[in-house]
């Protein structure tokens, strides 16, 4: 009898969730009719705390991570994270431990990961965005990765199964691989590159599995042209990085116009913490 991927024991049980983001698009965008609570969350830029139905987005994320096998979640937050701490205390999760790591300044995704160094220690972990809700089966595959790895979403499936418009997905980074090993991440691909890649091309949605060597890699990189320490640059510093292909969608909550569709898709979803 075949055993479900979700049923086998994962190699990784810790997740680092990047939840500090400034949410500039969420604060600036209009157009979507929000409740008073949603408007307040949008104005603050706290996308992970966005009310969705009876819960917050982070509740769905933590529940899905626990389903996949995560037993400890490290939330990377700003120094002013009182609202986050209060919410987690009210949740009182029992399926997984939730701790905080403070990113003092918004200096990029690699700096956010480096901020979790003390909380993670030498344990392997996955890194995910706080404003995305990833499919449990995809995360479960990533938890079983051997060493450093990147979850690659098939572009066609991502377009058909996500709430993200195709034109936004076209701007996401493409993954180039050879025999399951990462060769290059192409950020902001042009039209010719997209056409050549085809619908089966793999797209990065910032879901990684890391060993502790990522922290040294984060220390070695320089700020990007936009002045931030980027996790993609740190990944380039690593040696072998496995690519884990996956056909499925991701719910994205980066703009106000995303809220209605995310709420619709999560209607009736059970949250178990």
Q: What is the pLDDT of residues 95-139, one digit of tens each?
A: 999 999 999 999 999 999 999 999 999 999 999 999 999 999 999
Q: Which CATH fold topology does 14-150+204-241+252-265 show?
A: Spore Coat Polysaccharide Biosynthesis Protein SpsA; Chain A (3.90.550)
> Tens of pLDDT along 44-65?
767 899 999 999 999 999 999 9
Cβ–Cβ under 8 Å, residues 12 and 68:
no
pLDDT at residue 185 is higher than 70: yes
d(CA 159, CA 155) in angstroms, rounded, equals 6
Tallying the residues shown for the chain, one arrives at 273
pLDDT per position as a tens digit, 139-163? 999 999 989 999 999 999 999 999 9
pLDDT greater than 50 at residue 7: no
Q: Is 253 within 8 Å of 262 (Cβ atoms)?
A: yes
DSSP secondary structure string, 167-203?
HHHTTSPEEEEETTEEEEEESS--HHHHHHH-TT-EE
Q: What's residue 265's pLDDT?
A: 96
Mean of all residue pLDDT scores within the chain: 90
Residue 23, pLDDT above cutoff 70: no
DSSP SS3 for 161: helix
pLDDT at 5: 42
The pLDDT of residue 2 is 34
Is the CB of residue 246 less than 8 Å from the CB of residue 139?
no
User: Sorting pLDDT into bands at 50, 70 and 90, what band is 182?
Assistant: very high
> Quick check: 252 and 135 in contact, CB under 8 A?
no
């Amino acid at each position: 009898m075949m055993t479900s991927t979700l049923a086998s024991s994962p190699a990784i049980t810790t997740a680092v969730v990047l939840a500090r983001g400034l949410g500039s698009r969420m604060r600036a965008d209009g157009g979507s009719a929000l409740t008073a609570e949603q408007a307040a969350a949008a104005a603050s830029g706290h996308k992970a705390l966005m009310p969705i139905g009876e819960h917050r987005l982070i509740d769905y994320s933590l529940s899905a991570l626990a389903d996949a096998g995560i037993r400890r979640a490290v939330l990377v937050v700003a120094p002013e994270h009182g609202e986050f701490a209060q919410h987690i205390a009210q949740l009182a999760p029992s399926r997984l431990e939730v701790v905080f790591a403070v990113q003092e300044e918004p200096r990029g995704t690699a700096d956010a990961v480096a901020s979790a160094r003390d909380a993670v220690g030498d344990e392997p972990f996955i890194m995910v965005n706080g404003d995305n809700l990833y499919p449990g089966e995809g995360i479960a595959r990533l938890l079983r990765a051997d060493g450093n790895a990147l979850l690659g979403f098939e572009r066609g499936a991502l377009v058909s199964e996500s709430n993200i418009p195709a034109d936004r997905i076209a701007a996401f980074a493409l993954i180039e691989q050879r025999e399951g090993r990462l060769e290059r991440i192409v950020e902001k691909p042009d039209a010719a590159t997209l056409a050549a890649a085809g619908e089966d091309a793999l797209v990065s949605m910032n879901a990684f599995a890391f060993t502790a060597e990522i922290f040294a890699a984060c220390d070695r990189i320089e700020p990007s042209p936009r002045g931030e320490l980027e996790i993609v640059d740190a990944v380039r510093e690593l040696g072998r990085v496995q690519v884990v292909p996956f056909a499925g969608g991701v719910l994205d909550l980066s703009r106000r116009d995303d809220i209605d569709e995310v709420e619709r898709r999560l209607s009736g979803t059970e949250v178990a913490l």
